[in-house]
Structure 1
């Protein structure tokens, strides 16, 4: 699975450069560059550290934390599609209950 664009987006969301995030996740800057360009495979423990750093540096406006977003990404879940389906389901249940 390619995580490069996710890594770039999450890093930039907390205003960190590759040089700044490298020591925080215990990965060299050159390795981060390769990961972001999908030239290397990301190890699970590195992803977890990355997401923990991002989560500690941000206050998300939504209810989804970077760690949850990362786990969803690993499992191939589209968070937007899932939230839309749940919204439709809840709306349908409310409509059904109100119609009786």
Structure 2
């Protein structure tokens, strides 16, 4: 399975450029690009560091469980909306 888009989305949502994320992770910017373009896979420890650096631990959890992040967000939004109406 290819996860480059998940890594890229987490980086973009955090507002980090490839250069800034590379500095935070002590990696070359080219490595960030290769991961996002599915030309390189990360070790689990580096994936954890990526999602910590981008403040997106839920993306890591969803990826590890094989769940689509957009689906989770949609279900949570419906749940919260239902709770608000109920209250």
Band of TM-score, shorter chain? 0.7 to 0.9
TM-score (norm: length of structure 1): 0.66
Select the structure of larger CA radius of gyration: 1
Unaligned runs of 5+ in 2: 80-87
- For structure 1, the 5+ residue unaligned runs are 56-65, 88-100
Q: Looking at both structures, which has the greater relative contact order when contacts are Cα pairs under 8 Å and sequence separation is at least 6?
A: 2
- After TM superposition, where is structure 1 displaced by more than 2 Å over at least 4 residues in a row? 81-84
Return the offset for 1:78. Answer: 2.8
RMSD of aligned alpha carbons: 2.4
Partner of 2:57: 67
Query: Who is 2:42 aligned against?
Result: 42
1:49 CA displacement: 0.5
> Equivalences for 1:1-100 in 2 at 5 Å?
1-55=1-55, 66-79=56-69, 80=71, 83=75, 87=79
Quote the offset at 1:26 in angstroms: 2.1
SS of the aligned residue for 1:6 comes to helix
Number of residues paired by the alignment? 79
TM-score, scaled relative to structure 2: 0.74
